[in-house]
């Protein structure tokens, strides 16, 4: 591990204090202490540019889209579709027809489970997930397997929180129809080797969905290079509002999939005898969408893309290394998830202390962390624990905030031991 000074030299070129000026929520006190926000895995804070984009929408061109000939509707429609193009470019998808607006990662996974999976799965077919998945990538597949007679199989993991790749690859066979796994673990921070899984799945003509909710806040993703079939993420993880997200799907698959929800804007013609549907992506976007969410998500993406990603990743990695090093100096410290490749997430327990009690004392010191099972109960069962304390960092966090975390944890140990 690097020393404190070595770590701070690493990120000297990333001006985190300048970046923090764009995030008004960070400049407040909680319980008489400066806010230290370390719950970025749950949701990221929003820069002024995103906040102003929402305000600008409601001040200047609030109108419904795709249906009006008046000026405000035309402006709203153009801005909404410009947002779709921004997402396409961000992910390097081939065309905007492959970008479906959803309410978030969970909605995107459920859409695919209830359309593509229902269309292709038969009794005895297999759906493959992993032991570290978020509930959003477990429950929909359990439900669809119960309804179709398909079998849900689970990639095992090591104590370090990594897929056991030999077993994972051996589990992929001619019976495998769908593989749905997370790019990055929300509970452990593990960056999974999804490229190997995608290649193996395609070799047996299986389709692959990737949950990218925890990946995109930390590094760039090129979907044409990855060649996965579906990719989902939530806007609020990348400094956009809640209630907006993306399902990417290869166009040839989206064209074959039936709509999931019926209503306005997803149709060509409606009669009592028959309804014909719009082309992708609109056939999956029934009803009035989260227009301001899409506009603000595009602004959040623009903000993120303007940052120097090489320096950002060095900064985040230095935060992870420094936090890990300092945490391990505390008595009774156990860190869960020691993968070789991680984003800046540290999940831990302190012997004899309940995570909720630790979280409460941290909050009294102005420090926001997540405590509990992190919507990954099977993963917690694997480790034989009820949950952890999770400190998840973003590019706007600082090494001084790590110091404040450590100081508060020492207080918790003294009070609770």
Q: Which residues contact residue 389 at a Cβ distance below 8 angstroms, ignoring those fewer than 6 apart? A: 347, 348, 349, 350, 355, 358, 359, 362, 369, 370, 371
State the Cα–Cα distance between residues 376 and 188, nearest whole angstrom. 10
- How big is the chain by its Cα radius of gyration, in Å? 22
Sign, CA torsion 296/288/246/105: positive
| Region at 236 (left for phi over 0; alpha for psi -120 to 50; beta for the rest) | alpha
User: Which residue stretches of 328-398 are H helix?
Assistant: 355-364, 377-383
The reported pTM is: 0.94
Tokens in use for 225?
């290079």
- Look at residue 178 in the predicted model and tell me its pLDDT: 98
* Orientation angle between helical segments 48-60 and 291-306, nearest 10 degrees: 150
For every one of its 417 residues, what pLDDT tens digit does the chain have, with 9 covering 90 and above?
445 444 444 444 789 999 999 999 999 999 999 999 999 999 999 999 999 999 999 999 999 999 888 999 999 999 999 999 999 999 999 999 999 999 999 999 999 999 999 999 999 999 999 999 999 999 999 999 999 999 999 999 999 999 999 999 999 999 999 999 999 999 999 999 999 999 999 999 999 999 999 999 999 999 999 999 999 999 999 999 999 999 999 999 999 999 988 887 777 777 788 888 778 899 999 889 999 999 999 999 999 999 988 999 999 999 999 999 999 999 999 999 999 999 999 999 999 999 999 999 999 999 999 999 999 999 999 999 999 999 999 999 999 999 999 999 999 999 998
Contact 102/232 with Cβ under 8 angstroms?
Answer: yes
Residue 275 contacts residue 261 (beta carbons within 8 Å) = no
Residue with tokens 């995608």: 198
CA distance linking residue 329 with residue 233, whole number of Å: 35
Domains and CATH numbers, the chain: 4-46+308-416 (3.90.1150.10), 61-305 (3.40.640.10)
| Measured distance CA(371)–CA(33) in Å, rounded | 20
Q: How many helices (H) and strands (E) does the chain have?
A: 16, 17
The whole-angstrom separation of Cα 412 and Cα 417 is 8
Active-site option among 375, 385, 406, 416: 375
In the chain, the largest separation of any two C-alpha atoms, in whole Å, equals 73
Distance CA 229, CA 194 (A): 12
- 310, 151 Cβ separation under 8 angstroms: no
Sequence-separated (6 or more) residues with CB below 8 Å from residue 395: 14, 16, 19, 307, 312, 315, 316
Q: Is 375 annotated as catalytic?
A: yes
345: number of CA atoms within 13 Å, CB side?
31
CA distance 300 to 277: 31
CA distance 322 to 6: 10
Please say whether the beta carbons of 115 and 258 come within 8 A. Answer: yes
Query: Partners of 125 in the beta sheet?
Result: none
Backbone φ and ψ for 103, nearest 5 degrees, come out as -90, -5
d(CA 179, CA 197): 8
Reduced to 3 states (helix: H, G, I; strand: E, B; else coil), residue 377 is helix
pLDDT at 9: 44
355 Cβ contact list (under 8 Å, min separation 6):
349, 371, 372, 386, 387, 388, 389
The residues that bridge with 370 in the sheet, in sequence order, are: 390
């Amino acid at each position: 591990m690097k020393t404190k000074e070595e770590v701070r030299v690493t990120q000297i070129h990333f001006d985190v204090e300048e970046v923090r000026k764009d995030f008004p929520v960070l400049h407040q006190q909680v319980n008489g202490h400066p806010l230290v926000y370390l719950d970025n895995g749950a949701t990221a804070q929003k820069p002024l540019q995103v906040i102003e984009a929402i305000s600008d929408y409601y001040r200047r061109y609030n109108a419904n889209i795709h249906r009006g000939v008046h000026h405000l509707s035309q402006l709203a429609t153009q801005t909404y579709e410009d947002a779709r193009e921004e997402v396409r470019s961000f992910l390097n998808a081939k065309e905007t027809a492959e970008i479906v607006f959803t309410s978030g990662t969970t909605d995107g996974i459920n859409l695919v489970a209830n359309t593509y999976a229902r269309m292709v799965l038969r009794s005895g077919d297999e759906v493959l997930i992993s032991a570290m998945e978020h509930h959003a990538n477990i429950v929909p597949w359990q439900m669809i397997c119960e309804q179709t007679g398909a079998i849900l199989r689970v990639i095992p993991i090591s104590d370090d929180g990594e897929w056991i790749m030999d077993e994972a690859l051996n589990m992929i066979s001619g019976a495998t129809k769908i593989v749905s796994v997370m790019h990055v673990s929300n509970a452990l921070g593990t960056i999974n080797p999804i490229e190997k899984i995608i290649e193996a799945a395609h070799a047996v003509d299986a389709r692959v969905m990737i949950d990218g909710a925890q990946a995109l806040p930390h590094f760039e993703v090129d979907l044409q290079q990855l060649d996965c079939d579906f990719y989902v993420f939530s806007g609020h993880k990348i400094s956009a509002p809640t209630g907006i997200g993306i399902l990417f799907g290869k166009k040839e698959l989206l064209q074959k999939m039936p709509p999931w929800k019926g209503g306005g804007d997803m149709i060509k013609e409606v009669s009592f005898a028959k309804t014909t549907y719009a082309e992708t992506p609109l056939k999956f976007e029934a009803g009035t969408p989260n227009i301001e969410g899409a506009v603000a998500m595009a602004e959040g993406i623009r903000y993120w893309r303007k940052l120097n990603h090489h320096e950002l990743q060095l900064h985040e990695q230095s935060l992870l290394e420094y936090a890990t090093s300092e945490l391990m100096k505390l008595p009774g410290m156990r860190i869960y998830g020691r993968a070789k490749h991680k984003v800046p997430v540290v999940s831990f327990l302190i012997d004899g202390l309940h995570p909720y009690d630790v979280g409460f004392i941290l909050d009294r010191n102005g420090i926001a962390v997540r405590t509990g099972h992190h919507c990954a109960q099977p993963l917690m069962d694997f480790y034989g624990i009820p949950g952890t304390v999770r400190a998840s960092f973003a590019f706007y966090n600082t090494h001084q905030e790590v110091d404040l975390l450590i100081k508060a944890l020492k207080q918790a140990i003294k009070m609770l031991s």
